[in-house]
Amino acid sequence: MQQVSLSNGIRLIHKHTSSPVAHLGITIDAGSRDEMREENGIAHFIEHSVFKGTQKRNSAKILTRIDGVGGELNAFTTKEETAVFCTFLSNYYPRATELLADIVFNSVFPDKELEKEKSVVIEEINSYEDSPMELIFDEFENQVFGDTGLGRMILGTKESVNSFNSEKIRRFIDRNWTNDLIVISTVGNIDFERWVRLTEKYFAGVKPKKTERKRSENYVYKPLYREMRRDTYQSHIMLGIPAYNYKSEKKVAFS
């Protein structure tokens, strides 16, 4: 594993393999826990919307840029991070690197496309609410963390999603997508120095910016019990207790 930082603060991590298939991703240390209450769901909505057009590409050209050479382009959002990534044959490193740079830093979020995407996300919310096996996780975290970024649903609500526009999206990105919170990582058959030069070509021009965000750590766990009844043939149960955090030296023994 090799790593270095660009002059603007973006970190690079590379693992060399001999496989003909390569993986490249941009991970941003910003997720739904970093939303204000009225922004609930916007981190996930942005993940959908970055594929809808940039300053030089429309959505069709974005999707076919990697798909057209047998690769795959995707993204995901969690409560703590957002990632945009692709899988491709290793000889397409320049194509994949340029495309991810364009998506993450040059998306224009056209209003017409945003309106279309709202219906997609709302349908996702409806589908999620009809799946108790998945919904129980959000219900549990809501009970533990309450009305905070960690307690609210990643997808947001139908009301919050309908309120999103390009201005709100840019405000969230400006506040949270700062260089010191961005990592570009890759696994593939490419020389590290060559990949660094390639990354510098497309990312070195990103203006340096550090976050002023401070995540709240003031969560107090209180034991509680909640039961929800639905017209279904299945029962789903979740039990949770306080435990060591992922930085603790005791976490391995605990698990």
Summarize pLDDT for 54-89 with one digit per residue, the tens: 999 998 999 999 999 999 999 999 999 999 999 999
Contact partners, residue 233, CB within 8 Å, separation at least 6: none
**Among the listed ranges 37-51, 105-119, 120-134, which one has the minimum average pLDDT value?**
120-134
Which string of DSSP letters, residue by residue, matches 24-36? EEEEES--GGGS-
pTM of this structure: 0.89
Q: What is the pLDDT of residue 230?
A: 83
- 144-151 average pLDDT score: 89
The DSSP element (H or E) to which 161 belongs, if any, is helix 158-162
Summarize pLDDT for 164-173 with one digit per residue, the tens: 999 999 999 9
CB atoms within 10 A of CB 245: 8
Q: Which domains does the chain have, with CATH numbers?
A: 2-221 (3.30.830.10)
Split at pLDDT 50, 70, 90, the class of 220 is: confident
Catalytic residue ranges? 47
